Structure formats: structure tokens, C-alpha cells
């Protein structure tokens, strides 16, 4: 069975490889292409962060999400807190002591949501050099060449395939049945073993003796 590369268990090794000069050069190339292609990033203006920026070396990848994934995590937690009657009542008592009054439950819930969200939004943003900071939904296909470079260093002398196919832009290590996909791993997406095995068989004739493969 195929499986994702275990990024969490090998995080220190991954970070060390990520900082290699040729990997960073490839990352800059990929990110500049991504920024020029995708004009709306999940750096929502409502959160006060800049919009439609160009990548600068060293920037956290999560800044360049093409969805509101990181921003929305705070919203989801705040919405869950609204359902907690004890927390809602505690908030109401605190605000009443400060002279605030709410005429409807909806007004109370809205005020509580805003208070929670303001507190949570920065807490939900990833810390530098954590796996979360590497998750930028929408950029997956643009960064496959960078992850190919990382995988080549991680499995030196072995066959590593970078393929553009119906599976998207993917990087696989067939001898170990490894899919080198940080987003698939992070979101626990199903590993399509049959499809990867078929991809391996389809392009097996393209492998060369150096243990690498060009984009197929």
C-alpha cells in the first residue's frame, strides 16, 4: 500500500533540506509563478494583512493561501463557543458589569463571536517553521517542483518521480511506495494506491539509471 511521507516524524530533516540553496531557488521560482498566476490570496483584508503580495524569500507559505483557510479556522472555533451556554452567560455577565446591554440573544451572540474572533484569529495563525506554516491551500500544484527537489535530497540515489497527471502535480518515490505530498498528508486525504501504482507502471520506462525522473 502507498502512503504519505511522514512529515511530522521527519520534520527536523525536512526543515534542514528545505533550507538548501537549490531548494530555495526552486521555491522562489515556483512562488513567483504562483503569485503571478493567482491574484487573490487568502490574506484577507478583513484580518488586516496585505493582499496580492509578491513572494519574498523567507516568507511563510501560509501567507499565500488561495483560500481563507487560516482565517476561517478562527471563525469555526468562535462559532463553537457561541453554542456553549455557560461561556455565553459568562460573557454576558462580564459585559453587563461593564455597562453593556443586549436586547436580543442574536445581538449577544454577535458580540460574543466578535470578541472570541478577535482573540482567536492571531492564535490560529501558524508559528514559523511548523508544519502548519507550510500549508497554503491553492498552491499545491505550483510547488510540486520544490517538493520534488526536497524528495530527491531525502531519497538520494533512488527513483523519485515528478508527474503531471490526472492526480495533479505529484511527487512519488515508487521503491518505497511513498507519496511526497505535504498537503495530502496534512489534511489526511485518501491515498489512491491503485492510481499511484498505475502511474508508476505507466511511466516505468521513463526512469533513468541515476535514480531520478523528469516531469512526466
5-38 pLDDT per residue, tens: 999 999 999 999 999 999 999 999 999 988 887 7
pLDDT confidence tier of residue 48, bands split at 50, 70 and 90: very low
Residue 203: per-residue pLDDT: 62
* Residue predicted with more confidence, 171 or 192: 171
Q: How far apart are CA 89 and CA 35, in angstroms?
A: 45
Q: Which pLDDT does position 47 carry in this prediction?
A: 47
Query: What does the H/E/C string look like for the chain?
Result: CCEECCCCCCHHHHHHHHCCHHHHHHHHHHHHHHHHHCCCCCCCHHHCCCCCCCCCCCCCHHHHCCCCHHHHHHHHHHHHHHCCHHHHHHHHHHHHHCCCCCCCHHHHHHHHHHHHHHHHHHHHCCCCCCHHHHCCCCCHHHHHHHHHHHHHHHCCCCCCEEEEECCEEEEEEHHHCEECCHHHHHCCCCCCHHHHHHHHHHHHHHCCCCCCCCCC
Is residue 145 scored above 90 in pLDDT? yes
Tell me the C-alpha distance between 73 and 61, whole Å.
17
| Range scoring the smallest mean pLDDT among 84-98, 140-154, 192-206 | 192-206
Parse the chain into domains and list their residue ranges: 1-8+139-216, 39-137
The stretch 61-82 carries a mean pLDDT of 84
Ramachandran angles phi, psi of 94, nearest 5°: -60, -45
Alpha-carbon span 163 to 170, nearest angstrom: 5
Give the span between the Cα atoms of 79 and 120, in whole angstroms: 11
CB atoms within 10 A of CB 121: 20
Query: In sequence order, which residues have a C-beta less than 8 Å from that of residue 26 and are 6 or more positions away?
Result: 145, 146, 149
Residue 195: which of 208, 184, 209, 182 has the closest Cα? Answer: 184
- Decide if pLDDT at 49 tops 70: no
Average of pLDDT values for 71-93?
87
Amino acid at each position: 500500500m502507498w502512503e504519505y511521507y511522514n512529515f511530522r516524524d521527519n520534520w527536523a530533516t525536512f526543515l534542514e533540506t528545505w533550507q538548501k540553496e537549490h531548494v530555495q531557488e526552486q521555491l522562489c521560482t515556483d512562488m513567483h509563478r504562483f503569485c503571478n498566476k493567482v491574484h487573490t490570496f487568502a490574506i484577507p483584508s478583513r484580518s488586516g494583512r496585505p493582499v496580492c503580495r509578491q513572494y519574498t524569500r523567507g516568507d511563510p507559505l501560509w501567507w499565500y493561501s488561495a483560500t481563507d483557510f487560516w482565517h476561517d479556522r478562527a471563525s469555526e472555533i468562535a462559532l463553537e463557543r457561541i453554542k456553549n451556554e455557560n461561556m455565553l452567560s459568562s460573557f454576558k455577565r462580564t459585559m453587563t458589569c461593564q455597562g453593556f446591554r443586549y436586547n436580543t440573544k442574536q445581538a449577544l451572540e454577535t458580540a460574543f463571536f466578535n470578541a472570541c474572533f478577535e482573540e482567536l484569529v492571531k492564535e490560529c495563525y501558524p508559528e514559523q517553521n511548523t508544519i502548519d506554516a507550510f500549508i497554503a491551500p491553492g498552491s499545491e500544484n505550483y510547488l510540486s517542483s520544490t517538493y520534488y527537489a526536497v524528495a530527491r535530497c531525502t531519497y538520494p540515489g533512488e527513483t523519485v518521480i515528478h508527474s503531471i497527471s490526472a492526480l495533479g502535480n505529484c511527487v512519488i518515490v515508487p521503491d518505497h511506495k511513498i507519496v511526497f505530498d505535504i498537503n495530502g498528508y496534512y489534511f489526511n486525504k485518501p491515498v489512491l494506491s491503485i492510481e499511484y501504482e498505475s502511474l508508476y507502471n505507466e511511466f516505468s520506462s521513463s526512469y533513468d539509471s541515476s535514480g531520478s525522473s523528469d516531469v512526466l
